[in-house]
Structure 1
């Protein structure tokens, strides 16, 4: 398998619309991982957020629709808090792909779920496939069990406003803010600032003051178009030894301004975007080719096998060779 044939590996974790091009309707699949004694309130809030997003996006003639799926280790009914059951699909039906973002539910059952090797191994493979994972509350415990040396996307909130409460109320508010921020990052990317702000105002108006930077001003259309061009250039050239400064020069922007505008428009830093592009290709090559690790590193702009090994250890707590053996075995190769 050649590197050129692996472009599809990049599209699983982020898809950017071409500037000023009317796309065909797109379905974004969002999943939430549930377990026994997970939070029913989180499940309801996510449903409300993405139902509102679909209504607002349709009214604004956006060509994106969200589909929310509930997942559990075996599928079927899962008993949430307050003894309320939710019907779920089994993890095997998704095979670590097929959705854009995964939320990991809050709830007292997270500790028991963190000891279930089936859930932990599946979550580890999801993270290795560069799918955005957003743990909520106690769900961080489960995420850490699967990816001990990795970090999910930052879910910190600004000080003040809705975040300043005490005790159980503060803990509940923190989970709501984590959930809202994770959803807003996705909504901003897909349907724009105005629609994302409308969703927050409709579903959780008390959270608006907690996200001044996230819901604040965005780059103008020309700057946003240039950022999208640069993102495409980074993806197309990720197998070369390129830098963020190179990408900024491609669109005639200063490095500092480019990094700031890129984070606002895309939701991640240019460095993280480039690393994810490279890592997606590396994972596919390790699984589906016989190329040595050193050669894979050189093919994907990682400079050397030693550097690639360090990245793997940091992200997945395994070596590239261990990852290759495990994923090829699971894929039956």
Structure 2
């Protein structure tokens, strides 16, 4: 791992290519740029590409970049590969791969945003490591690179000094986590506040909220209003007959149509919503687990524990330990 003098600014290299997603670049770039004003590191940010010069992004915006080869021999703090529609082609660019592998040896840590993981994987930099990419591309990453341990339902994954993340906002979350690693959690929280982020999200969180997942599965939007009502009434009696009454259907017809439309039973949806709400309270409050269980519609903390263990693979206390906000 390269060493850094106290006088040198940590160098963050953002690797871009034609048709990269602009927000995959500017999101993390903004985080690293603003870290100094929140008491963090004063990063030197470099945009680089295989050939250098102007690179056209997916939005039509052109970015001026340095050739990657000019960075050879420099001690790099972070090497971050952007994602987007052009990432698949970039993963076949031999010059880009060669330079990326060379610079990875000079970097204290490397990472990717979204489909930038395909570039790291093509260079062998994810072999034997846990990784993630955008949910839409996780299956492709796993099938094309079987030596990569893809974890499809994660915001971002840190495996040693190698980081990978899901879509656009997850890249921002990952950059904030990197700042937290460099300068402490307080700085990262302050930075998230300046960016008007709702919260500082941890990598182990799901790429989907339960509400978003329900909307995604229910492409017609037929039950959107019901899902909103469920989210607002988690502590109430939400048996199937009550849900059917809410949408003006018979219980039998509602159960059949709901499952056909969303791919899951009403009871499963209720459980997902309740676990998601409990997860938020575990992250953001110091409320006792029993109180959280009551507020989210579980009859007791044991039922909450079993549901979280089944869905997230972790108990409420362990989840809070890993992802809860530290109190000053």
Indicate the TM-score class for this superposition, using the shorter chain for normalisation: 0.3 to 0.5
Look at both structures and tell me which one has the larger radius of gyration over its CA atoms: 2
Between 1 and 2, higher relative CO (CA 8 Å, sep ≥ 6) is seen in: 1
- Which structure has greater helix proportion? 1
TM-score, length of structure 2 as denominator length: 0.48
TM-score, length of structure 1 as denominator length: 0.47
